[in-house]
Chain A
Amino acid sequence: MGSSAVGQQPSPTPATSQDISALLQKITDLEDRVVTLEGQVRQLKAQGAQPPAGAAPAPAATPEPGVAAQTTPANEPRLGGAGAAAAKALNPDISMIGDFIASAGHNPINPTPSFQMHESELGVQAIIDPYARGDFFLSFGETGVNLEEGYITFTALPKGFVAKAGKMRAAFGKVNTLHNHVLPWVDRPLVTQNLVGGEDGIDDAGVSVEHILPAPKNWFLDFTGQTFRGDSSDVFTATNKNDLSVVGHLRLYKDLTDNSNIDLGGSYSRGHTLFGTNFIQQQTGENFIANLYGIDAMYRWKPLTRSIYRSFVARSEFIWRQQNQPANLGSTCPSLPGGCPLNIAPGFQRAFGFYTSADYQFARRWFFGGRVDSSDRAFNAHLNDKGGSLVLTYWPSEFSQIRGQYRLTRYAENFDAHELFIQVQFALGAHGAHPF
C-alpha cells in the first residue's frame, strides 16, 4: 500500500541543463551579493560608520582589521557629530620619524655633537572634510619643539586652484621644501646653510596658492605664489605687520621617456632683513630688503621594469641673494636684539651659491652619491665656502635607513674641516607620502 502511494507520487523531473545553468547563476549572484556586502562592511569600517552618501570622506588612515564600528550609546558625548567609535576610526594618520646622527672630525666653525638625536618628527595628517585636508609636522629636538609645518590644504577650490594656509616650508627651490628625512644627504648643502636659512629655511606662517598653467602637450607647468608673515631664520625678519615676505615658484616638468624625466624650476623671494626695523630705517632712511633668486634642475632615471633596483638622480640649484646692509655697522649692530652676524660687511651684498649632486641606486637597498658645494655668505659676499661630500645609504626596509657621509668643507677662513657622519633614520606609523 505504502509502496503504491509512493508510486503514485509524481516522479521528480530530471533537471535540465537550463535548470542547472539557472541554479549556477543564482549561486553566482548570491556569491556576488555576499562579496558586495563584505566590501560594504569594509568600507564602513574604514569610514568609521559614517553614512555612505554625501558623508565626509574617510581619512587616509585605515583602521586595524577587527576594529568594528560600535553603536554609540545615546548618553555618550558626541565629537563633531561622530560617535565614539567613529571618532576612533577617524583618528588621523600619526607617524614619528627619528633622526639620529653621530659625527667625527673637527669643525670649529659649524660644530656638531658626537651623538645627537637630531630630530624626532611627529606627523599628524588627515582629511578634514570634503573640501580640505590638514597636515601637521612637529619637530622635536633634544631640548625643544618646533612646529615645522602645520597647514590646511583646500582641495576642492574651483578652476583647479589648490590653496594652503598655515605654517609651511616655502616653495623656494627644491631643498627648502624637503623635510630632513627625505634629503639624500645627512646635512643640507652649503648654499642652503649660507643663503636660505639653513635647516629651518624659509619656513613661515602664511598662505599659498598653486595652479597648473596651460602648457604645450605633455609639459607640466605649475605656478605657486605664497605670502608669509616675513620671519624666516636669518633670511627675513618682520618688525611690523607690513613686513610681509613673498615667494613665487614656477615649475616645468616633462617625461622624457617612461624611464626618465626632467624637472626645472625658477624661484623668487623677497622680504625684510634683520636691518629692516623701524628704528634703523628711520635712522638711515633706507629700506633693507633681501631678494633671493633661484634656479633648480633635476634629472631622474628609473627603469620601470627594475624600478626597485636601479635609479639615478642628478640635481642642482643655483641661488642668488642680494641685500642692502647699513653702511655704518658700528652704530647699527648694537641696536639689533641679537647683534650683527659674524664677519658682516657693510653696504650692498650680492651673494651666490650652488650645489650639484648625483645619486645612483646600485642594488635594491643600496645608494651611492656625491655632492659639490660652493656658496658665498649672505652677510659678506666676499667670503666663500666650498665643499664636497660622498654618501652611502643602506635601506634595511622602507621604514628605516642607515647613511654614512664623508664631508670636506673649505671655509673662507682658510680652514679645512674633514668630517664623517653616520645617520640612522626610522619611521613609526603611517607617514603620508610627500609630493614628488
Chain B
Amino acid sequence: MILRLNLLRIAAVLLCAIFLVAGPAAEAKKLRVITTLTDLASLTQEVGGDKVDVEALAKGYQDPHFVEPKPSFLLKLRNADLLVSVGLDLEIGWLPPLITQSGNSKIQPGGTGYLDASQFAEILEIPQGKLTRAEGDVHPLGNPHYWLDPDNGRRIAKGIATKLGEMDQEDSAYFQQRYQDFAKRLADADRKWQAEMAPYRGRMVVTYHRSWPNFAKHFGLDVQGYIEPRPGIPPTPSHTIELVNLMKRESIKIQLIEPYFDLKTPNSIASMTSGKVVVMLPSVGGKPEVTDYFKLFDYDIGILTHAFQEIK
C-alpha cells in the first residue's frame, strides 16, 4: 500500500515535471520580444505575426520620458529574447537600471538581443554645436519622437523584420513576407491619410512639446512654436504671452497637445486666440480603440482634420 502511494506520488511529480518542461518547449519556437513603447510593439507584431510574443513596457497614454522602472518590468525583461528600444536617450531615465538588473545577458546593450530602433529612422532636430541644459531637456542625438512618421514606421518594421530573421533564421522568409505585406498596407493607408491632410498642407500650428516634428514633416504642417518655453520646462506666463502674440500675428489656431499634459495653459491660449486645442495621441494605446500603428494615424488624422474644418 505504501509502495503504491509512493509510486503515485512519483508519477504525479513526473507529470508535473513533464508539463513544466514541455510547456516552454512547445512555445520555444516563439521569440519573446519586449519593446519600450507600444508603437514598437505594434510594428513588431505586424512583422512577427504568430512567431513572436510581444509586449511593451510603457503604456500608450503615459509620458515616455517619465516611466517608472518598476520591478514588474524585470519579470518581462528577464526572459526576453529581444528588447527593442526607441533610443536617442528617450528612455535614459528608466531603462538602463532595468537592463542591468534583469540578469538577462542577451538584452544588454551590444548584446544579440538588444535593438535600438533609431538606427533605422530618419532623425530630425539633431542639435549642432555645443549643447547645454540652458536649452532645457534636449536630446543630444536628435528628436526621439521619430515613429510618428509612417515612413519611419515602415523602416523600423523592416529593421525589426531583419533582426527577427537573424534570430530565427528558419522563419526569416516569413518575417520578410509579413514586412512586405505591412509595407503595402501602410503605403495604401498613407495615401488615404495624405489625401485627407492635403487641404491643410502648409498650415501653421503650435505644439506643447517637441513631439511632432516627424509627423509635421510627413503631413506638411508648419510648427511655429511650442507651449513649453524649453523642452521639459513647464509653460511660463511671459513665454505664453509671446506665444499668444505670435499666434495672433500669424493667425495660428491649432495647438497639438499630448494626452499627458495639463490643458489649463493650452485652453487659456485657445480662448485668447479663438483657436482649438487638439489632443493628439503620440502612441498606440493612447485610447482603448487605438490598438495598432494604423489606428494611431487614423485617430490623429481624423481628429486633426476635424479641428481644421471647425476653424475654417
Contact = CB atoms under 8 A, between A and B. Distances in A.
Interface stretch (B1-9, B88-96, B288-296): B88-96
A156 B105 CA distance: 4
A43 B74 contact: no
Interface string A424-436: 0000001011111
Given A261-B70, A304-B61, A397-B232, A212 B128 contact: no
B155 A364 contact: no
Contacts of B155: 32, 35-36
Nearest to B130: A64
Interface string B21-56: 000000000000000000000000000000000000
Q: How large is the interface on B (under 10, 10 to 19, 20 to 34, 35 or more residues)?
A: 35 or more
Interface string B131-173: 1010011001110000000010001001000000000000000
Max chain B Cβ within 10 angstroms of own Cβ: one of A58, A212, A302, A430:
A212
A65 interface: yes
Contacts, number: 162
A422 interface: no
B93 A433 contact: yes
A130 interface: yes
B131 A220 contact: no
A434 B97 CA distance: 7
Max chain A Cβ within 10 angstroms of own Cβ: one of B71, B74, B127, B130:
B71
B270 interface: no
Contact of B68 (A57, A131, A302, A364): A302
B262 A435 contact: no
A398 B232 contact: yes
B75 interface: yes
A157 B103 CA distance: 7
A42 B141 contact: yes
A434 B72 CA distance: 16
B59 interface: yes
A181 interface: no
B97 A127 contact: no
Contact of A305 (B62, B93, B118, B151): B62
Interface string A286-308: 00000000000000101011111
A302 B101 CA distance: 23
Interface in A250-271: 251, 253-255, 258, 261, 263
Contacts of B129: 66
B78 A36 contact: no
Given A261-B70, A436-B71, A399 B133 contact: yes
A130 B110 CA distance: 7
A211 B103 contact: yes
Interface in A282-339: 300, 302, 304-309
A398 B136 CA distance: 10
Contacts of B232: 397-398
B260 A305 contact: yes
Q: How large is the interface on A (under 10, 10 to 19, 20 to 34, 35 or more residues)?
A: 35 or more
B59 A153 contact: no
A252 to B, nearest CB: 9
A211 B102 CA distance: 9
A376 B262 CA distance: 46
A62 B66 CA distance: 19
A162 interface: yes
Contacts of B202: none
Contact of B101 (A55, A162, A309, A397): A162
Nearest to A163: B103
Contacts of A253: 70-72
A304 B63 CA distance: 8
A218 interface: yes
Interface in B98-136: 99-105, 108-111, 114, 116, 118-123, 126-131, 133, 136
Interface of A: 31-32, 35-36, 38-40, 42-43, 46, 55-58, 60, 62-66, 127, 130-131, 133, 153, 155-157, 159-162, 210-212, 218, 220, 222, 251, 253-255, 258, 261, 263, 300, 302, 304-309, 364-365, 397-399, 430, 432-436
Given A39-B121, A304-B62, 6 more contacts: A57-B110, A64-B140, A157-B103, A253-B72, A258-B59, A434-B97
Interface of B: 59, 61-63, 66, 68-72, 74-75, 78, 89, 92-94, 96-97, 99-105, 108-111, 114, 116, 118-123, 126-131, 133, 136-137, 140-142, 151, 155, 158, 232-234, 259-262
